[in-house]
Chains A and B, each alone.
Chain A
Amino acid sequence: MNQIDKAPSATAAADDLVFYGEAVSSRMLLGTALYPSPQIMSDAVKASGCGIVTVSLRRESARGKVGERFLELITALGVHVLPNTAGCRTAKEAIATAQMARELFDTPWIKLEVIANDDTLQPDLFGLVEAAEALNKDGFKVFPYTTEDLGAAERLVASGCDVLMPWGAPIGSGRGLANPYALKTMRNYFPGIPLVVDAGIGAPSHAARAMEMGYDAVLLNTAVARAADPIAMAIAFAAAIDAGRLAYRSGLMIERDMAAPSTPVAGTPFFDLGAPPKS
């Protein structure tokens, strides 16, 4: 991390990431679910240095103790809260959930999920666009969980979304970037919109790759929460995301099909003897 901070040219210029007018300190967004304990979750968030965590709403019982305890833990972290509409199957459910989240967490930010399929947890793009249109009109700052589909993305942007969050791979699968070609196309098509790869990230190398492609940030959860050591893994992801971002800003070399010697050819000893005869 220190070496990255000290790297010269690419870090000299400001490299702010802004979501809906708010500058965020880190390019990592971290989920708060599936950790071995609340304390480990809290420690992993702190270790990652992330400035935004995702949260949800669930049915309350037990006299409200579960929700209150979690809310206190999250508030103590002092980070931006991005509530989700996970599990919603229709635009109507997602809209009501977003409205409940806005009141409960006191934020207009919403990670909008409308789920189409149980096996893939693929976004329902029709419901997503419908819900985004309604929520944007209602003053929400929508972070839509979507696919690489450019048509749907254009509709989301036209409805007022200033951030897009395409999936890397199905939620919880850890498969990385399933369709890097489409993600690259999307990045090129929306040069001015903050793009976050959300879901499917399993290893720091996946996150680094997304960042090297020019994605603005990465949202992940399971890969950290289910690691043998979630706190160390949070640090590993933060380093990979920083490295990927720096690499993108530094200008990656162009791939070649053929080898090209890096050591100068001129002056190679014995060069005049040529290649040895093939026997």
Chain B
Amino acid sequence: MQATTAKTTTQEIEITLNGTSLRTSCLTLAQLIEDQDLSGVRVATAINEEFVPATTRADRRLAAGDRIEIVSARQGG
């Protein structure tokens, strides 16, 4: 995990992203999405089993231990 933008600090926290643990210096959910190369991609998000609307991702700060889901459209029955 690289600190890719000036927005991040050197302080890393451990989170779980889509079931896999990850150390990140991203401060917000919006930064994490950018860091994962998912900017401009239609995804939906949840933190700790609570929906986080796209409009609030920039304000949603990440905390150590957060369980984050980033999902997109798939086939379904």
Residues of A within 8 A of B (CB): 31-35, 41, 54-61, 63-64, 66-68, 70-71, 74, 83-84, 86, 92-93, 95-97, 99-101, 103-105, 171-172, 221-222
| Complex Cα gap A68–B49 (Å) | 23
Asked if A57 meets B77 with Cβ closer than 8 Å, knowing A68-B42, A100-B46, A104-B42, the reply is no
Contacts of B19 in A (CB 8 A): 59
Interface positions, chain B 18-68, Cβ under 8 Å from A, are 18-19, 36-38, 41-46, 49-51, 53-54
The contact size tier of chain B is 20 to 34
Q: Which 8 A-B pairs have the closest CB atoms?
A: A67-B72, A56-B76, A64-B41, A100-B44, A31-B77, A99-B51, A221-B77, A33-B75
| Complex Cα gap A105–B71 (Å) | 12
Is B75 within 8 A of A57, CB to CB?
no
Asked if A61 meets B18 with Cβ closer than 8 Å, knowing A103-B53, A104-B43, A104-B44, the reply is yes
| Complex Cα gap A32–B77 (Å) | 6
Is B71 within 8 A of A57, CB to CB?
yes
Asked if A68 meets B41 with Cβ closer than 8 Å, knowing A59-B18, A96-B49, A96-B51, the reply is yes
Is B42 within 8 A of A71, CB to CB?
yes
Beta-carbon nearest neighbor of A87 in chain B = B76
A-B contacts counted at CB < 8 A amount to 117
A166 CB → nearest B CB, Å: 16
| Complex Cα gap A55–B73 (Å) | 7
Is B77 within 8 A of A67, CB to CB?
no
Residue in A86, A96, A103, A105 whose beta carbon sits within 8 Å of that of B77 in the complex: A86
Asked if A222 meets B74 with Cβ closer than 8 Å, knowing A61-B18, A103-B44, the reply is no
Is B42 within 8 A of A58, CB to CB?
no
A85 CB → nearest B CB, Å: 9
Answer whether residue B15 sits at the interface, using C-beta atoms and an 8 A cutoff: no
